[in-house]
Amino acid sequence: MALQSLDIKRRSATTSPTPSVREPSVGAVAKLIDVSKCIGCKACQTACMEWNDLRDEVGTNVGVYDNPADLTEHSWTVMRFAEYETPQGDLEWLIRKDGCMHCEDPGCLKACPSPGAIVQYANGIVDFHQEHCIGCGYCVTGCPFNVPRISKKDHKAYKCTLCSDRVAVGQEPACVKTCPTGAIEFGTKEVMTEHAQARIADLKSRGYANAGLYDPAGVGGTHVMYVLHHADQPTLYSGLPKDPQISPAVSLWKGVAKPLSMAAMALAALVGFFHYMRVGPAETSEEDERNAEKEVSHE
């Protein structure tokens, strides 16, 4: 959804320099998800559905608490439940709210070939503008967290907007507002990082020696961060990547291949132009057409 009230910092497939934007005086925003406080109640999922007016299908149970079982164009956030037996033999039920991480260096935006379909606002939020989306699915490839989903109905890409419409008018995202235990908090990235440190100290005092903040450097940090009890093993949390990177294909596309292919395209156009100037328009004779019709009727 196009939202004009937030300053755009970056646009997909746009080489013209972005006009200098006014940086938010408080800096970038961040949502902090404290996995150690989360009880997996799914209130955030429901609030997301209500605020964004999304209604997924009534699915089936496939032997887990995760429902819907995966992110879809109608489910922008889902809870993922992982059962973990510690080396000491104790059980842990690691419940992670999954959804867009709002990377500072967004792979989706880099991969997107359609100008303006993906934008990053000055506050760090990465948003999809469906009116510019061509449904190519490159954002899916570009995302190191496997988040965007292509709608089967309108073939456009959808994901969490971090409630950019709410944030633009000074409100917290719907999931944050509804979270009953305060496991999801929202504020400036600076304050959230600071708050996370206090939470990590508490977890360490309770025996989680490797508690830490998940704010992966490989994507330039994220505007959705996790407090994890086992920050050394993020993959325990239903496969949260340990060191997410933008896919080499996308990097290649953006870094080397894209200028090269742009040059190739330009070359092709140039060659075409000279061909036209020297030979004239490509024309078919009447005989050619008759032969073609014969071939078609034989089939």
Partner 1 sequence: MTNHWVDIKNADIILIMGGNAAEAHPCGFKWVTEAKAHRGAKLIVVDPRFTRSASVADVYAPIRTGTDIVFLGGVIRYLLEKDQIQHEYVRNYTDLSFIVREDFSFENGLFSGYNPEKRRYDKSSWDYERGEDGYVKTDPTLQHPRCVYQLMKQHYARYTPEMVERVCGTPQAKFLQICEMLASTAPANRVATILYALGWAQHSIGAQIIRTAAMMQLLLGNIGMPGGGINALRGHSNIQGLTDLGLMSNLLPGYLTLPNEAEQELPQYLAARTLKPLRPNQMSYWQNYPKFFVSLMKAWWGKAATAENNWAYDYLPKLDKPYDLLQVIELMAQGKMNGYICQGFNPLAAAPNKAKVLEGLAKLKYLVVMDPLATETSEFWRNAGESNPVDPSKIQTEVFRLPTTCFAEEDGSLVNSGRWLQWHWKGAEPPGEARSDIEIMAELFLRIRERYRREGGVFPDPILDLAWPYVNAARPTPEELAKEYSGKALVDLPDAKDPTKIVRRAGEQLAGFAELRDDGSTACGCWIFAGCWGPNGNLMARRDNSDPTGIGQTLGWAWAWPANRRILYNRASADLQGRPFDPQRKLIYWNGRAWTGADVPDFKADEPPDSGMGPFIMNPEGVARFFARAGMAEGPFPEHYEPFETPLGYNPLHPNTPAATSNPAARVFARDLADMGKVEEFPHVATTYRLTEHFHYWTKHVLLNNIVQPEQFVEIGEALAKELGITNGQQVKVSSKRGYIKAVALVTKRIRPLTIEGKTVHQVGIPIHWGFTGLTKPGFLANTLTPSVGDGNIQTPEFKSFLVKVEKA
Residues contacting residue 192 through CB under 8 Å, at least 6 positions apart: 30, 31, 32, 185, 186, 225
Length of the chain (residues): 299
Q: 67 vs 120, which CB is nearer to partner 1? A: 67
CB of 165 to partner 1, least distance (A): 20
Chosen residue from 16, 205, 284, 285 binding partner 1 by CB under 8 A: 205
Would you call 59 helix, strand, or coil by DSSP? coil
Containing H/E element for 227? strand 224-228
Compute the distance between CA of residue 274 and CA of residue 255 in angstroms, rounded to an integer.
30
Residue type, 255: G
Per-residue contact flags (x/-) with partner 1 for residues 123 to 152, judged by CB under 8 A: ------------------------------
Tell me, by CB under 8 A, how many residues bind partner 1: 41
Binding of residue 52 to partner 1 (CB under 8 A) = no
CB of 237 to partner 1, least distance (A): 12
Binding of residue 71 to partner 1 (CB under 8 A) = no
CB of 164 to partner 1, least distance (A): 23
Near partner 1 by CB under 8 A, which window of 38-46, 96-104, 137-145, 260-268? Answer: 38-46
Compute the distance between CA of residue 289 and CA of residue 291 in angstroms, rounded to an integer.
5
Binding of residue 259 to partner 1 (CB under 8 A) = no
- In this structure, what is the dihedral angle of CA atoms 242, 245, 249, 252, given to the nearest 10 degrees? -150
Count CB atoms within 10 A of the CB of residue 286: 7
Chosen residue from 6, 8, 12, 40 binding partner 1 by CB under 8 A: 40
Binding of residue 29 to partner 1 (CB under 8 A) = no
C-alpha pair distances (Å), 194 with each of 137, 172, 176, 206, 246: 36, 18, 18, 19, 27
Binding of residue 254 to partner 1 (CB under 8 A) = no
Binding of residue 24 to partner 1 (CB under 8 A) = no
Q: Residues in the site for partner 1, rule: CB under 8 A?
A: 36-43, 45-46, 49-50, 55-65, 67-68, 75, 83, 85, 90-95, 180-183, 202, 205-206
